[in-house]
Amino acid sequence: MVRQHLDLRGEGLPTVTAPSDLLRERRCLLLDFDGPICAVFAGTASRTVAIRLVEMLDAPVPDEIAASADPLAVLRYAGQLGGERAERVERELTRLELDAVDSAEPTRHAGAVIRAVAAGYGLVAVVSNNSAASIRAYLMKHDLDSCVRGVFGRTSADLSQLKPTPFLLHAAMSHLEVVSEDCVFIGDSVADIQAAHAAHIPAIAYANKPGKAERFAPYAPAVTITDLGVILHEVKSVREKGQAR
């Protein structure tokens, strides 16, 4: 299994206590999409989307999948079934994600963080298990597309390259011509932290819901935050210090 190859503890990564310790020296900000940038299904309950995907499987499913509120969990199960079922479910999820963009709720401070990094000292890319098409649509809708140097998301029913594997993070670094020492990754799931560790990139864990900080703790993110305002403050501080030199 993929998980056996992941460095869950982030050994060899810098020990930090604040985002400033990371942002001061790292010029490339990588962000997950659903959570750190927006709530994709804010206007359509994710449980409703998951139910729709389960119906499309047209096959008996385990109780935990039938009861899941996570569309990606259903997609992963469809991937285990393989073949036409997986492709059909992935296409439908992409369609639903694209529809959801119109009512997706922007994460507080996310747009400002992206604009500040792009206008100042660094590079920005989005690395997500959501469909690349929906990410691009959201960025265009919110006038963020010119600030983001790359989108690395789901493009097919082949789920082997999605997080927690580091494939998409490596693809982002290659595209941006940077190395792990140049990067920091903001994510809001255990899979995000695992992928960051496997790519040797410090993970800033965004604990945007109660209980997440405790859930993340065993996976040793570099920093845990509950508000992107902390990141915005640090990015502006780094930018101002750079201009003062």
Q: Which residues contact 191 (CB under 8 A, 6 or more apart)?
A: 129, 163, 164
Q: What span, in angstroms and rounded, lies between the C-alpha atoms of 122 and 26?
A: 8
CA 180 to chain centre: 16
Q: What span, in angstroms and rounded, lies between the C-alpha atoms of 152 and 132?
A: 6
pLDDT at 14 (0 to 100): 54
Q: Is the pTM of this model over 0.95?
A: no
Q: What span, in angstroms and rounded, lies between the C-alpha atoms of 124 and 225?
A: 19
Residue 10 has pLDDT above 60, yes or no: no
pLDDT tens digits for range 192-238? 999 999 999 999 999 999 999 999 999 999 999 999 999 999 998 87
Task: Supply φ then ψ for residue 66, to 5 degrees.
Answer: -60, -30
pLDDT tens digits for range 21-35? 788 889 999 999 999
Give the E-state strand segments of the chain in sequence order: 28-31, 38-39, 105-106, 123-131, 150-154, 183-187, 203-206, 223-225
pLDDT at 11 (0 to 100): 58
Residue with tokens 């010119």: 146
3-state secondary structure (DSSP) of residue 151: strand
pLDDT at 240 (0 to 100): 73
Segment 156-160 shows an average pLDDT of: 93
3-state secondary structure (DSSP) of residue 213: helix
CA 147 to chain centre: 17
Q: What span, in angstroms and rounded, lies between the C-alpha atoms of 110 and 190?
A: 20
Q: What is the mean pLDDT of the chain?
A: 91
Q: What span, in angstroms and rounded, lies between the C-alpha atoms of 15 and 89?
A: 41
Residue 2 has pLDDT above 70, yes or no: no
pLDDT tens digits for range 73-100? 999 999 999 899 999 999 999 999 999 9
pLDDT at 24 (0 to 100): 82
Residue 185's DSSP bridge partners are: 30, 203
Give the whole-number percent of the chain exceeding pLDDT 90: 82
Task: Place 4 in a pLDDT band, splitting at 50, 70 and 90.
Answer: very low
Q: Minimal CA–CA distance to 13: which of 152, 197, 194?
A: 197
pLDDT at 22 (0 to 100): 84
Helices (H), 14-70: 19-23, 46-57, 63-66
3-state secondary structure (DSSP) of residue 186: strand
pLDDT at 171 (0 to 100): 99
pLDDT at 17 (0 to 100): 55
How do beta strands 150-154 and 203-206 pair?
Answer: unpaired
Domains and CATH numbers, the chain: 2-40+105-244 (3.40.50.1000), 46-103 (no CATH)
Segment 105-122 shows an average pLDDT of: 95
Intra-chain end-to-end CA distance of the chain, in Å: 49
Rounded to the nearest 10 degrees, the angle between the axes of helix 167-176 and helix 190-198 is 60
Residue with tokens 């206590």: 17
pLDDT at 12 (0 to 100): 54
Residue 173 has pLDDT above 70, yes or no: yes
pLDDT at 25 (0 to 100): 83
pLDDT: is 58 or 123 the higher one?
Answer: 123
Task: Supply φ then ψ for residue 34, to 5 degrees.
Answer: -75, 105
